[in-house]
Structure 1
Amino acid sequence: MTQRTLVLLKPDAVDRGLVGEILGRIERKAGWRIVALELRTLDLDTLRVHYAEHEGRPFYQPLLEFMSGSPSVALVVEGERVVEGMRALAGPTDPIAAAPGSIRGDFGTVVRENLVHASDSEKSAEREIEIFFPTLAGRP
């Protein structure tokens, strides 16, 4: 089933020059394609909406500061089982637990600055695409 998912290449991925490597991994997945892409410094209002479920947790404020501190790349990827597949490609949040071959397994250094965000479900993907790319919301 064709799906869409939101992917964020976080400031650490941009700052470390890993954008091309990560985009290449996404583009090499058979049947996946990037349908939207933008380099931007994320504003706090957008981040508060995006990370609303984490409000009140100890990592919430440092996460907002990290994510708004320098540019990120926001993109929408479309393809067969792309939500599940992109999560596998990203790897677990903890880079020590992430398998070699995953983005975090190959390039991750710390849990909090973990290079990439990928929607965790189709429902989350729809919500997140609406936040970052409202003109694509609701499109197949």
Structure 2
Amino acid sequence: MSLEPQQTMEQSMPLPQIYVERTLALIKPDLVHKAEDIEDIIVRSGFSIIQKRKIHLSPEQCSDFYSDQYGKMFFPSLTAYMSSGPIIAMALGRYKAISYWNELIGPSNSLKAKESHPDSLRAIYGTDDLRNAVHGSYCYTSAEREIRFMFPEVIIEPVPIGQAAKDYLGLFVNPTLLGGLTELCKQKPADPYTWLADWLLKHNPNKPDLLHQIIVEVPKE
């Protein structure tokens, strides 16, 4: 008779690979003074604020950012409004961030939002279809472009969670960490935290080997 515990159906079924998606959020010029309140709602709604900056765009920069709206009648008013003062730009992260953020902010016309989505950010803070409090990316492509526009140094990659995160840890993190902890137990250093940190730096599998000779230039007298 086997004494090994049997796996339940839930344990044996593979977990779906779920990724943290990113989207861009803007708090528009006339609502910057309400940024703290809006950010509190964002966090309580399950989003993480990955990056944030306060920036004052020029009309030319606004034209580039809203290039997909070029040629529409409201385009000059939009760029003039968005360049009228500082804005708050945020890269938000969560599962299905783009759709959840658009649901939270509501329809682009604040007057319509007050009727159809009274609890949305645009219904609460917006005043019309132009001064509608916040901006949100409408699809993955626009989110990627807009995040790169506001945060040029950012690297946009899906962040693995769930089974995908477990697979990543099993392949790339756990083997190195296990080796370090095993050696730590053998050495028993007086300062285990510093010793382990130094060991991990020395045995980092992603650190390239420098095969070329390092030449130090001596300044001429």
On whether the aligned pair clears a TM of 0.5, the verdict is yes
Q: Which runs of 4+ in 1 moved over 4 A?
A: none
Q: Which has the higher strand share?
A: 1
Question: Identity over the aligned pairs, expressed in percent?
Answer: 31
Which segment is superposed worse, 41-50 or 73-82? 41-50
Root-mean-square deviation (CA), in Å?
1.2
2:115 pairs with 1:89:
no
The structure with the largest alpha-carbon Rg is 2
Report what 1:67 is aligned to.
82
Structure with more contact order per residue of length (Cα contacts < 8 Å, sep ≥ 6): 1
- After TM superposition, the structure 1 stretch with the greater mean CA deviation from structure 2, 62-71 or 96-105, is 96-105
Number of equivalenced pairs: 137
Cα shift at 1:110: 1.1
Which amino acid in structure 2 is aligned with residue 55 of structure 1?
A: Y
Equivalences for residues 38-117 of structure 1 within 5 A: 38-98=53-113, 99-117=117-135
Q: Distance in 2 between matches of 1:47 and 1:95?
A: 21
Shift of 1:138: 2.7
Distance 2:39 2:55 in 1: 16
Report the counterpart of residue 27 of structure 2 in structure 1: 9
Range 72-81 or range 43-52, more displaced: 43-52
How many angstroms apart in 2 are the aligned matches of 1:12 and 1:137? Answer: 30
Aligned-partner Cα distance in 2 for 1:43–1:84? 29
The normalised TM-score by structure 2 is 0.59
TM-score, normalised to structure 1, is 0.92
How many angstroms does 1:139 deviate by? 3.2
